[in-house]
Amino acid sequence: MNTSTAVNNPREVFARVDFQYRWRTWALFLLLIGWGLWSLHDGFVVYPRENAAWAQMDERVDRPAKPPHEQSAVLFNQIIGVVLTICSVPVLAWRSYRSRGAYRLVGDTLHVPGHPPITFAQIRGLDLVRWDRKGIAVVEYGQEAAAPRRLILNDMVYERNATDQIVDRIEAHLNAQDASTAST
C-alpha cells in the first residue's frame, strides 16, 4: 500500500519525512557524539595518564625513548573531542529542522514547511538542473509584482515517490501553461 498518496482523494499527494533520512540523521548524531566523547576521554584522561606513567618510569630500566602519545596527539584528541561534541547537537537540530513536517499537494495547492500555501497559479518556474542527479527541484513562486521566492523539494529528505509525483504535477502544469501561451 502506498502511504504517500491519500486513498480517498487521488489528487492529494502527501510526502512524509523519509525513514532512511531520519535514520541517517540519528546515525550521524551518534557517530559525532560518540567519537567526540571518545576523543575527549582519550585526550583529557587516557593519554595524559599514560604519558604521566611514562614520565615516572626509571630512565635506566626499560623506559621507551619517547612517550606513548605525542603532545600533538593529545592536543588533536582534545580539539576533536570538544568540536565534535559541541557540533553534534546543532547538526542534529539542523537536520531535524530541515526535515520537519511534510510536503502536501491538495488539488493545485502545495504546502511545504516554512512557506505559505502556494497555488499553481503562483508558481513562476521550476529548476530541475539538480533533479536527475540529486533529486532537488527548486520552485520559484510569488506574485507578479513581488520578487520571486524559492522553495526546495528534495526527494532524499522526503518520501521519493510522493515528491516525484509533486514535481511531475508542477512540471505538467507549467508545460500546459507554456503551451497555452504559445498557442495564443
- Round to whole Å and give the CA distance between 136 and 157: 10
Question: 151-181: per-residue pLDDT in tens?
Answer: 999 999 999 999 999 999 999 999 998 888 7
C-alpha angle 47/53/57, rounded to 5°? 145
Q: Give me the pLDDT at residue 184, please.
A: 66
The CATH architecture assigned to 102-183 reads Roll (2.30)
- Round to whole Å and give the CA distance between 184 and 182: 6
Taking the domains of the chain in order of start, what are their residue ranges?
A: 19-98, 102-183
Please give the grid coordinates belonging to residue 48. 595524559
Backbone angles phi, psi at 128, to 5 degrees: -110, 25
| Verdict on whether the full-model pTM lies above 0.85 | no
Question: 51-99: per-residue pLDDT in tens?
Answer: 888 888 776 677 777 778 889 999 999 999 999 999 999 999 999 999 9
Question: 97-137: per-residue pLDDT in tens?
Answer: 999 999 999 999 999 999 999 999 999 999 999 999 999 99
